[in-house]
């Protein structure tokens, strides 16, 4: 039955939508649409206050359907289905309209066009809501088993957290050893614990848990299925193991930026090295800091190498950890070796939170900080066998400063690891910065648009160890909360037969890959019937019916054709 009292909410999303889409024009254009009973705009439809207002609207006005025009359905369908449910409305009488990803953002170059499109999309949403039906969800068994991809410190932390919550874990590491970069680190801020100790401790905890199976020299070679029921093939050494998992936590880490040949003299001058190389040098040296047989008395650190690049580089982002890592290295130098001067050529120090204490310690140690901008970067030159660094120091009103340095350390950041094979297998979206992309950095920070594929750690963005651990624990908690029930709630988008139109030709049964169509008797005739336990809601049976006797719930002819008519206006 057509819904007569529809509530329509058009969201500004801060300015994400309203900076490009004229919300008032959208409201004006849809206010007289049939069955629209209530029409509101909202700054953030997803905010608690807006949700409460919607619940009150539905109850007070006895609305029988709602339309929310905001962001992608991938983001907030569960939010607004929850709103409908709390208000006593069937959640399937709510329709989401995407006027952000496929509206304001896709057409930010054309606000007039974006507005015109938004009007028609909202009208189509209203048409779909008018024909919506109350539906009831079904459930399928789900495996409470997670494949954690990558056994760095983040991956091991995810595995331990999952195991402690009762989830079975397959921890899959491509390399021979676990621990990733951290297993090769020495002293870590803030506790001075060694990186290799942290890695070893985590490995020890992994080994204590019977519900974690660790595979090294292993990688996924095949994946089929969907959330709750993925079948994967994992190559371990030369064997291929078939495994059944409910979800994935991808924690595959980062690569360090490798400077270009000649970038600040790298690859041309032997005493120009990267921060990871310098950290190894500190760890492997005792009493005196010696590089290439020469005692090092003056170290020049050049910051933001491979990060915060201009238009000529791909890496626009701040790599977050490197200011702290460089200052930590200089503090280690002061603790371990005598009479070494540290000169920090930076673009503004970003030692946020407790890391500021390290900056303070370095400053107290007498480290010298000089600041440059991207349009006037330090010059590294060789004169008489000596290395000099010259910079226009912003902190001295642009005064040109030149100093000799025994060693130049390029403070290199994190770059996305080459992971195209895994990204392709699991269909993990990649963002503008080429790191794996979450659905929403604040609202759904460890989920991807692929149900059952979560991301954590530095495969997602540059992070320090603390932040890696936080996101690894978050991913573990998130997916455990989904799988721990042992069953998944499916959308009730099941096929439905109109028996009076069915003449049983069997084509629908042939088309169905799940054996969900059986015969039954209706009015003395054999007709098709849906076995709801088997139906997955794909709709493959619907276009093959010669009498058009099958509809897919939520995608009925009336709904889709109503939308087409609205969009064609």
Binding residues for another protein, per CB under 8 A?
72-74, 98, 100-103, 105-110, 113-114, 116-117, 120-121, 124, 225-226, 423, 427-432, 437, 449-451, 493, 511, 513, 536-540, 542-544, 548, 552, 555, 557, 560-561, 563-565, 567-568
**H or E stretch covering 326:** helix 322-336
Q: Considering the complex, what minimum distance in angstroms separates the CB of residue 83 from another protein? A: 20
For another protein, the closer CB: 176 or 432: 432
Q: Considering the complex, what minimum distance in angstroms separates the CB of residue 544 from another protein? A: 8
C-beta of residue 119 within 8 angstroms of C-beta of residue 22: no
For another protein, the closer CB: 154 or 539: 539
Q: Considering the complex, what minimum distance in angstroms separates the CB of residue 128 from another protein? A: 9
Q: Considering the complex, what minimum distance in angstroms separates the CB of residue 67 from another protein? A: 15
Q: Provide the 10 A C-beta neighbour count for residue 214.
A: 20
DSSP 179: B
Q: Considering the complex, what minimum distance in angstroms separates the CB of residue 110 from another protein? A: 6
Beta-bridge partner residues of 386: 383
For another protein, the closer CB: 186 or 225: 225
Sheet holding 145-149: strands in order across?
Answer: 212-215, 168-172, 145-149, 247-250, 453-455
C-beta of residue 494 within 8 angstroms of C-beta of residue 530: yes
For residue 237, give Cα distances in angstroms to 132, 172, 203, 218, 307: 53, 12, 20, 6, 36
C-beta of residue 181 within 8 angstroms of C-beta of residue 254: yes
For another protein, the closer CB: 166 or 513: 513
For another protein, the closer CB: 362 or 437: 437
**Residue 483: what are its φ and ψ, rounded to 5°?**
-90, -20
Residue 483 CA to residue 477 CA, distance in Å, equals: 10
Greatest pairwise CA separation for the chain in angstroms: 104
For another protein, the closer CB: 351 or 493: 493
For another protein, the closer CB: 101 or 197: 101
For another protein, the closer CB: 132 or 355: 132
Closest C-alpha among 32, 13, 33 to residue 23: 13
Q: Considering the complex, what minimum distance in angstroms separates the CB of residue 71 from another protein? A: 9
Q: Is the dihedral of CA 178, 184, 186, 192 positive or negative?
A: negative
Closest C-alpha among 312, 414, 302, 311 to residue 347: 302
Q: Considering the complex, what minimum distance in angstroms separates the CB of residue 114 from another protein? A: 6
Q: Considering the complex, what minimum distance in angstroms separates the CB of residue 429 from another protein? A: 5
């Amino acid at each position: 039955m057509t819904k007569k009292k529809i509530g329509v909410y058009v969201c500004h999303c801060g300015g994400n939508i309203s900076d490009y889409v004229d919300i008032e024009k959208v409201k004006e254009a849809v206010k007289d649409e049939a069955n629209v009973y209530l029409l509101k705009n909202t700054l953030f439809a997803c905010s608690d206050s807006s949700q409460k207002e919607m619940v009150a609207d539905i109850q007070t006005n006895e609305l029988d359907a709602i339309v929310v025009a905001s962001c992608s359905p991938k983001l907030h369908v569960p939010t607004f289905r929850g709103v409908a449910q709390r208000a006593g409305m069937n959640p399937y009488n709510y329709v989401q309209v995407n006027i952000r990803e496929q509206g304001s953002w896709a057409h930010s170059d054309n606000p007039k066009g974006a507005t015109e499109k938004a009007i028609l999309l909202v009208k189509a949403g209203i048409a779909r809501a008018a024909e919506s039906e109350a539906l009831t969800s079904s459930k399928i068994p789900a495996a409470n088993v997670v494949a954690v991809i990558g056994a760095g410190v983040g991956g091991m932390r995810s595995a331990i957290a999952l195991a402690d919550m009762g989830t079975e874990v397959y921890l899959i590491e491509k390399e021979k050893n676990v621990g990733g970069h951290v297993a090769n680190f020495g002293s870590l801020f803030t506790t001075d614990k060694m990186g290799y100790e942290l890695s070893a401790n985590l490995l020890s905890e992994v080994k204590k848990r019977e519900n974690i199976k660790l595979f090294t020299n292993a990688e996924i070679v095949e994946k089929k299925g969907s959330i709750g029921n993925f079948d994967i093939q994992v190559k371990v050494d030369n064997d291929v193991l078939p495994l059944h998992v409910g979800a994935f936590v991808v924690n595959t880490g980062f690569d360090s930026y490798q400077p270009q040949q000649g970038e600040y003299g790298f690859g041309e001058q032997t005493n120009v090295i990267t921060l990871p190389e310098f950290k190894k040098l500190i760890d492997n040296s005792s009493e005196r800091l010696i590089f290439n047989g020469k005692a090092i008395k003056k170290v020049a650190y050049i910051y933001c190498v491979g990060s915060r690049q201009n238009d000529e580089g791909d890496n626009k982002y701040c790599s977050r950890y490197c200011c702290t890592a460089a200052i930590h290295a200089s503090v280690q130098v002061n603790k371990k070796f005598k009479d070494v001067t540290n000169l920090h050529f930076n673009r503004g120090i970003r030692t946020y939170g407790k890391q500021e204490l390290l900056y303070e310690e370095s400053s107290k140690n007498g480290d010298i900080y000089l600041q440059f901008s991207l349009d006037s970067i330090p010059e590294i030159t060789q004169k008489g066998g000596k290395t000099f660094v010259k910079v226009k120091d912003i902190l001295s009103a642009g005064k040109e400063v030149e100093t000799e340095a025994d060693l130049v350390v390029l403070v290199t950041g994190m770059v996305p690891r080459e992971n195209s094979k895994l990204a392709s297998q699991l269909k993990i979206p990649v963002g503008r910065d080429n790191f794996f992309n979450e659905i929403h950095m604040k609202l759904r920070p460890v989920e991807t648009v692929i149900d059952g594929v979560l991301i954590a750690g530095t495969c997602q963005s540059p992070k320090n160890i603390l932040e890696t651990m936080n996101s690894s624990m978050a991913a573990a908690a998130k997916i455990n909360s989904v799988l721990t029930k042992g069953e998944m709630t499916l959308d009730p988008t099941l096929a439905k037969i109109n028996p009076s139109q069915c003449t049983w030709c069997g084509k629908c049964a042939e088309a169905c890959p799940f054996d969900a169509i059986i015969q039954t008797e209706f009015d003395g005739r054999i007709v098709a019937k849906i076995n709801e336990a088997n139906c997955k809601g794909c709709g493959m049976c619907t276009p093959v019916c010669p009498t058009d006797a099958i509809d897919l719930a939520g995608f009925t002819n009336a709904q889709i054709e109503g939308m087409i008519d609205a969009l064609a206006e």
